[in-house]
Structure formats: structure tokens, C-alpha cells
Structure 1
Amino acid sequence: MSANTYWFLGLSLISVIILIVMLVKKDKTTIFLMLMTMTQIAYLIETVIYIFLDAYRYYPKIISSDAFYDSNMGALTSNMFIVPTLATVIGAFRLRWRWILVFIALLAVVEWLFLNAHVYTHNWWKTGYTSTGLLVYFPISLIVYRRLLRPASGWLHHLLLFLSVAPIMGTLHIIPIMLFLNRSYHPGWFAEPGRETTAFSAIYYVASTLCLIGILMLKWRRTWPKYALLAAFYSGVTVVLQWTGLLSIHTWWDPIYFTLFPLGAYFVASRMSKRLKQGSPHASGRKKSLPGS
């Protein structure tokens, strides 16, 4: 294992420990929804800045087959672990500006250390941009957590459901591609194959999540027709993408996986939807458990 890898593993381990503490002290479902929502917000931001605008690169030296996929593993440490985790801490414990500034300063120090250890580089990005973005991102967590405690309906319910489900869809989409090279996309956007596949995957998972939520919202009495429709839809998408030349499949199991994992995501999404409609069962006691509300 490369020395670079330990930097990212250490940061991920710290995030996991913090999450475990929160899951013990707070309502587990609310924390999970909160973490997923803040992860998706980070994913959307990084899709623009990191993937399309090539602001920076990571070098965890975990994946040797493709340099951009290796960089993605480093990006996941930031966008799936440490940044959403700290945002969840801020929201769940209703921390105010003093703590927000402390967390931003800590992340600035971490970024400086990673730069000096040469496990992360800026192309045109600056650490000050990160800190400025976090001044907006972290306070959003306070709004999100308060909203997750109350029942949601209409467009707000759909928005929160999308933000909760999309990171599951996105992560399950890209991780096998990076690790097993089971498929590649060819939209013709970039010279690097890994970057091109990652960029198209980012568009794909957002669109497929919207379709999943649309099917979930259908007012059908029985559930199994929805699963059948999902399976047919995602199988059809794979066929169409292959036919247009946008998709190349490199393993026998790829079409099966990309048909089945959205069904699992749908099962989770249906339960998320019910929880969002009902609100938190602990909401009535939140003023006592969350001082400063």
C-alpha cells in the first residue's frame, strides 16, 4: 500500500468514527438522510468543479488502471466522507458560526497538508475557494436538518427524496466501473477515457434517479409492476446506449448489475419517501435535545 493511500484512509476513518458517534447520539434515520442529502449537494458541486472544470486532482494511488479513476477515489474521501460528515455534525448538533469557522479552518489545514504531501494538486483552484464555498455549504446543513425533522410534501418532498437517493445511485454506478472496468462511456467530451466515463456517469445517475423517483410517485396499488417497469427501463437504457455507441460493455455481468441495483435503490427510496412524509418520530422532543433551536 502506497504512503499516499494512508492519508486518504486516515481521513475516511476519522469520518466513520464521527458518524458512529452521531448514530449513537441521534436518530439514525435522520442522520442517514442528512448525510445522503449533504453528500449529493457535494456531488453536484464537484461534478461541475472537479469533473468538468478540472479544478484539481487527487493521487491516493489506490487504482492503477486509470489515473482519473484513482483521482475519483480521492474525491470520494472528500465528498462522500469528511465534508458531508462535518456538515451533518453541524446540522445535527445545531452548531453556530464559531464551530463552522473552526471546521473550515481545519479543512483548510488538511488541504494544505495534502498539497504539501503531494497527494493532491490544484490545477487552477485555490484553498481560499474551498473555504469560501464551505461558508455557504455548511450553513445549509442547519436548514436541511431542521427540515428533515418535519413532514415534507409536494415539491419539497420530491427534492429531499432526490437528494437522499441520488448519492446511492451515483456511488453504486461509478464504483464498479472504477474498480472492475466493466463499462465505459464515449460522449466525446474529453481526451482522458476515465474522465469521459466519469463525466457521463454523473449525468446518467442524476437522470436515472429522477426516473426512479418518477416511477415511485406513480399511484399504483401494487408494487411489483413498478419493479418490472424499472427493470425494463434500465435494461432498455443499456441497449439504447450501446446501440448509439455511447456505451461499451466489457464484462458479462454488467447489464445484470445495472438492471438490478436500481431495484435495490428503489426499495430504499420507498422507505425514505415514507419517512420524509411522516417526519422524525423524535421531532417533538427536539427542543430539549437540541438546545438553541
Structure 2
Amino acid sequence: MPNSAYWFLGLSVSSILLLTYTLFHAKSTVRAIFLFLIMTQIAYMIETIIYIFGSSYTYLPGLLKNNAYYDSNMGALTSNLLVIPTAAIIIAVFEWRWKAIAALIVFIGVIEWVFVLLEIYKLNWWRIEYTAGGLVFYFSVAKLLYSRLLRPVNGMFHSLLLFLCIAPIMGTLHILPIMLFMNRSYDPSWFNDPAHDTTACASLYYIVSSCMIVAIMKLQQGHVWLKYCGIAVFILVLTLELVQTEMLTIHKWWDPWFYCLFPATVYLLLRPISTRLARGA
């Protein structure tokens, strides 16, 4: 394992330990978990714009030797699935004031600067100052949402929060197998690198499928298992259509089974989130 991998693994382990500690000490673990999911998806959406489609920077963790872009994605997951959402949870749960938040933003900026010096993180057009400015907005949203989650939500805001809770799970389960097992590839012909193409297309795919699950959760009529089967069939038809148009190539026999069943299973297991949001987390 290259030395760069230890830096990213160290950040990941530290974030997991801090997240566990924070959830353990939160007054409402459920509310803290909801906020973690929401802030993860907000980070994912920002990263989709600036990193995937904007090519703002490149991570060099050295965790995946067979594909440079997927290796960069592993670094992106360290940041957007663990480090940044965990920082947001700590700020919200422990009610940090802005002096402490400013110190944390500076600390994150120093880490980013050190990673650049170590040549395990490459800035293209992005600047560390942009990260600092973005974190001010990001942490402000975390504090507001954590307070708002105490009260019941309904209407479009309920749908939005439900989407933000479900989408990071859908997105992570969608892209991780592709990066680790090369089980499928998308070919929208947007970028020169096939892995970049696949990542970009997958980022839109999981958003669409997450919206579909939210819409089905909001339906009052229909049996749960009928909806479960409906989601699986919809994904199967979509998969066949993408294969037919040569937008999707499947490389592993288990791929269609996994991608048809896991969205339906996410719907089945996460249905209580909708009820909990409606009555206040």
C-alpha cells in the first residue's frame, strides 16, 4: 500500500470514530443520523457539479491501482461521505459557536494544503479559499436543519428531506461496486475517460432512481410488496433499455440482480424515515 493511502485511511478512520462518538452523545440519535444523511447528499450534489462535471481537483490516494479515476473517486468518498458530513454533525450536535467553526474550517484548509504539498491531492482550477467559503455555507445549513428536524415537516419540504436521506445510500451503493468490481460501465460519451463517463452517468442515474423511490413512498395507495416489485421491475426495464441503446454495458452476471433488487430493498427498509420526518425527528 502506498504512503498516500495511509493519509486517506487515517482521515477515514478518524472520521468514523468521531462520528460514532457524536452519535453516541447526541440527544436524539435518529435526528443526528438524519442530518448525517442529508449533509452527505448535499456534499454529493456539490461534488457532482464541481468535481465530476467541473473537474475541479483530483485525489491520489493510491487505493485502486487498476483505474486512476476510480482511485480519485475513493478520495472523494473519504471527503464527502466521511470527513465533511462528520464535521457538520459535530458542529450541529454540540452546538458549536462560530469561533470554533472558523477554527475547524481553517484546520480543514490546512489538511487540504498539506495534501497538496504531499502530492496526494491535485488542484486543477479549484482553490483552498473556495473550500473555506463553501464550508461556511455548508455548516450554516447543517445548524439550521438540525434545529428544523425537531419539528414535523410536510409537503415539498418533506419530499426534499426524504430525498436527501435516501439518495446518499442509493448513490453509494450504486458507484462502489462499479469502482471495486468493474461490474458495469456507462457510455454517454461526455468525457474522454470511460471511468469518468461512468461516474458522471451513475451520478444522474441514482438521483433519478432516488426521486422515483420518494414518489412511491409518498403514495398512500398500494401494498408495500406490490410497490417493492414495481420498483424492481422499473429498474429492470430501464436496465434493458440502457443496454439496448448501448449506453450501458454489463460485465458481471450478478449486476442486473443487484441493481434491480437493492433500490427496492432501500425502499422497503427506509420507509419509516418518511413517517419519522412527518412527525418530527
Give the TM-score normalised by the residue count of structure 2: 0.98
Within 2, Cα distance between the matches of 1:15 and 1:31? 15
Within 2, Cα distance between the matches of 1:93 and 1:160? 22
Matched position secondary structure for 2:64: coil
Q: Following superposition of structure 1 onto structure 2, how do residues 138-153 of structure 1 map, counting pairs within 5 Å?
A: 138-153=139-154
What is the match of residue 39 of structure 2? 38
Matched position secondary structure for 1:184: strand
Paired residue type of 1:5: A
How many angstroms does 1:164 deviate by? 0.6
Within 2, Cα distance between the matches of 1:64 and 1:260? 30
Question: Which segments of structure 1 move beyond 6 Å, counting only runs of 4 or more?
Answer: none
How many angstroms does 1:268 deviate by? 3.1
Instruction: Answer yes or no: is 1:12 the counterpart of 2:12.
Output: yes
Matched position secondary structure for 2:55: coil
Within 1, Cα distance between the matches of 2:156 and 2:61? 39
Give the TM-score normalised by the residue count of structure 1: 0.94
Q: Is 1:161–1:269's contact at 8 Å kept on the other side of the alignment?
A: no
Instruction: Answer yes or no: is 1:255 the counterpart of 2:256.
Output: yes
Question: Quick check: 186-195 or 25-34, which moved more?
Answer: 25-34
What is the match of residue 185 of structure 1? 186
What is the match of residue 200 of structure 1? 201
Q: Is 2:61–2:75's contact at 8 Å kept on the other side of the alignment?
A: yes
What is the match of residue 171 of structure 2? 170
How many angstroms does 1:217 deviate by? 1.3
What is the match of residue 236 of structure 1? 237
How many angstroms does 1:148 deviate by? 1.3
What is the match of residue 115 of structure 1? 116
How many angstroms does 1:263 deviate by? 1.7
How many angstroms does 1:181 deviate by? 0.3
Within 2, Cα distance between the matches of 1:191 and 1:144? 39
Residue deviations 1:107-129 (CA, integer Å, cap 9, x gap): 00100111111110101111111
Instruction: Answer yes or no: is 1:77 the counterpart of 2:73.
Output: no
Residue deviations 1:39-66 (CA, integer Å, cap 9, x gap): 0000000001000110000011111121
Matched position secondary structure for 1:61: coil
Paired residue type of 2:192: A
Q: Which runs of 5+ in 1 are unaligned?
A: 281-293
Q: Which runs of 5+ in 2 are unaligned?
A: none
What is the match of residue 105 of structure 2? 104
Identity %: 46
Residue deviations 1:117-146 (CA, integer Å, cap 9, x gap): 111010111111111111111111011101
Matched position secondary structure for 2:58: strand
Paired residue type of 1:134: L
Q: Is 1:88–1:141's contact at 8 Å kept on the other side of the alignment?
A: yes
Within 2, Cα distance between the matches of 1:222 and 1:18? 40
How many angstroms does 1:24 deviate by? 1.1
Matched position secondary structure for 2:95: coil
How many angstroms does 1:215 deviate by? 1.2
What is the match of residue 22 of structure 2? 22
CA, structure 1 residues 268+102, in 2 after alignment: closer, same or farther (shift >3 Å)?
farther
The alignment yields a C-alpha RMSD, in angstroms, of: 0.9
What is the match of residue 47 of structure 1? 48
In the alignment of these two chains, the number of paired residues is 280
Q: Is 2:228–2:265's contact at 8 Å kept on the other side of the alignment?
A: no
Within 2, Cα distance between the matches of 1:207 and 1:99? 38
Question: Quick check: 84-93 or 251-260, which moved more?
Answer: 84-93
What is the match of residue 284 of structure 1? none
Paired residue type of 1:231: A
Q: Is 2:39–2:142's contact at 8 Å kept on the other side of the alignment?
A: yes
What is the match of residue 2 of structure 2? 2
What is the match of residue 275 of structure 1? 276
